[in-house]
Chain A
Amino acid sequence: MERELGTFRVKAGLAEMLKGGVIMDVVKPEEAVIAERAGAVAVMALERVPADIRAAGGVARMADPRIIREIMDAVTIPVMAKARIGHFVEAQILDSLGVDYIDESEVLTPADEQYHIDKTKFKVPFVCGARNLGEALRRIAEGAAMIRTKGEPGTGNVVEAVRHARTVNAEIRRVAAAPADELPTIAKELGAPFELVQQVHDLGRLPVVNFSAGGIATPADAALMMQLGVDGIFVGSGIFKSADPEARARAIVRATTHYQDPEVLAEVSTGIGEAMRGIEISRIAPEDRMQERGW
């Protein structure tokens, strides 16, 4: 067999290697180094963390390639970067920079209100957000090799991440338990390709790795999401918007590994300074909720 690059197996495989780990948003090389030293399995290179994007308003776009390159040079762990939903040229640019994963992300302002990026055309793998099983499977059909719950980014409030994880879990349980002859109708209801619904039925889980994102701010939040069955954790604003980013980053990494061990969780939660302040979801106008972006 000839050497094959960019196969779905190597794309989904990198996500498998990140399981049980924490991926941290960083906006400069110094933060990337703090993340790596704390035990992050990857970093997301950004111009602003979601909390600042929310505060700044306006149109949020792909980061300046200079920032991404500097971060890639600063660490040895994988570097991810965000493209706007549907903005396949931003994705082409990120691909040419050599980033290890592209997040087609609702944190940025969507560039297309109808179509997501055709991710099968790229050698670089993509991760996409989802609030429910149908959305997750549509993204996988478009070529996503990793899924994350959307949560509500930049809020420091885990409630939406919990809602999305529970929704996906409940829908997976329903698909797994359904007899084969009901799957075509379930696929229609979910708005998802039948073949992927069948895979979920056979596996009892998503066919790719599923992380949690959007609102995780404490070690306990991370362990909560892990106990709800996600494969790993994205922390956006939660670390570098807290009082002591280094201590919090270390604590969240350890909580993600030892998520079933309350003694370790108590120990790592101790004395790590104040968490980011956070926002109650009902205070955010529906049109300002990032999770509503994408479909």
Chain B
Amino acid sequence: MTQIGIAAVQGAVREHERVLAALGARTSLVRRKEDLDGLDGLVLPGGESTAIGMLLEEYGIADVLRKGEIPVFGTCAGMILLAKEIEESSQPRLGLMDITVRRNAFGRQRESFEEEISVPAIQGGPLHAVFIRAPYVTSVGRDVEVLGTVDGKIVLCRQGRMLAGSFHPELTDDRRLHRYFLEEVVGERARLA
């Protein structure tokens, strides 16, 4: 059975747990670096990227993740933490993806929105996406595959074992993006091993 950790510094932890468990994965919470042992993949949930980044660093989790061996799915704050470049910020990050992100890119809370977005890599029609003070990606490196956009802004992308989305699939009943992570991102690693 696939073992997926959820970084539980703070944020939308229980929502990811619920979706992953419904898809048949075993889940565990990651607060210290020992909690990373034996994981097949990790979810970095939405929350406040400044707070999460700081605590991932302090408790040694960031150093282990930076080796790039554990596949990571980052949503919202998680996307920010995966980025190499964060516009106008020197906050702690993992820097595992060759992308530049802009924080609060759509605006403050009153500009938060829901919308259906088209993601060709995922079968079954558009995804219902919930954007909350969301970031987007302003530039990507050569090895990054753009999977989804809204208003021409990149909101979903992948680089090898790393998957990053601006929005919150865990707040909807649509599990397809989590399934994509389990089957295509984590699963591919299992097949290569």
Partner of B113, one of A4, A18, A42: A4
Q: Taking A21-B48, A76-B103 as contacts, is the C-beta distance between A14 and B171 under 8 angstroms?
A: no
How many residues of chain A get a CB closer than 8 Å to chain B's CBs? 40
Partner of B31, one of A5, A10, A125, A258: A258
Interface segment among A93-101, A108-116, A270-278: the answer is A93-101
Q: Which residue of B lies closest to A21 (CB)?
A: B10
Interface segment among B36-44, B50-58, B140-148: the answer is B50-58
Q: Taking A76-B89, A98-B110, A124-B109 as contacts, is the C-beta distance between A3 and B115 under 8 angstroms?
A: yes
Determine if A20 and B13 form an interchain contact, defined as CB atoms under 8 angstroms apart: yes
Does any Cβ of B come within 8 Å of A16's Cβ?
yes
* Residues in B neighbouring A63, C-beta threshold 8 A: none
- Interchain Cβ contacts under 8 Å between A and B, 5 examples: A4-B115, A5-B110, A10-B112, A18-B47, A42-B48
Q: For chain B, residues 14 to 66, give those with C-beta under 8 angstroms from any C-beta of chain A.
A: 14-15, 31-32, 46-48, 50-51, 54-55, 58
- Alpha-carbon distance A23/B103, docked complex (angstroms): 20
Q: For chain B, residues 52 to 100, give those with C-beta under 8 angstroms from any C-beta of chain A.
A: 54-55, 58, 76-77, 89
Determine if A13 and B51 form an interchain contact, defined as CB atoms under 8 angstroms apart: no
Determine if B132 and A13 form an interchain contact, defined as CB atoms under 8 angstroms apart: yes
Minimum CB–CB distance from B186 to chain A (whole Å) comes to: 24
- Alpha-carbon distance A197/B59, docked complex (angstroms): 40
Q: Taking A17-B46, A17-B77, A20-B47 as contacts, is the C-beta distance between A257 and B10 under 8 angstroms?
A: yes
Determine if A39 and B112 form an interchain contact, defined as CB atoms under 8 angstroms apart: no
Partner of B116, one of A1, A256, A257: A1
Determine if B109 and A16 form an interchain contact, defined as CB atoms under 8 angstroms apart: no
| B94-135 vs A, Cβ < 8 Å mask (1 yes, 0 no) | 000000000110001111111110000000000010111100
Partner of B54, one of A4, A18, A39: A39
Binding site for B on A (CB under 8 A): 1-7, 9-10, 13-14, 16-21, 36, 39-42, 76-78, 95, 98-101, 123-125, 232, 253-254, 256-258, 261
- Alpha-carbon distance A257/B112, docked complex (angstroms): 26
Q: A95-B110, A258-B31 are in contact. List 12 more A-B contacts (CB 8 A).
A: A3-B113, A10-B132, A19-B12, A19-B14, A19-B47, A21-B47, A41-B47, A41-B51, A76-B103, A76-B104, A232-B10, A254-B58
Determine if B31 and A257 form an interchain contact, defined as CB atoms under 8 angstroms apart: yes
Q: Which residue of B lies closest to A122 (CB)?
A: B110
Minimum CB–CB distance from B14 to chain A (whole Å) comes to: 8
Determine if B168 and A20 form an interchain contact, defined as CB atoms under 8 angstroms apart: no
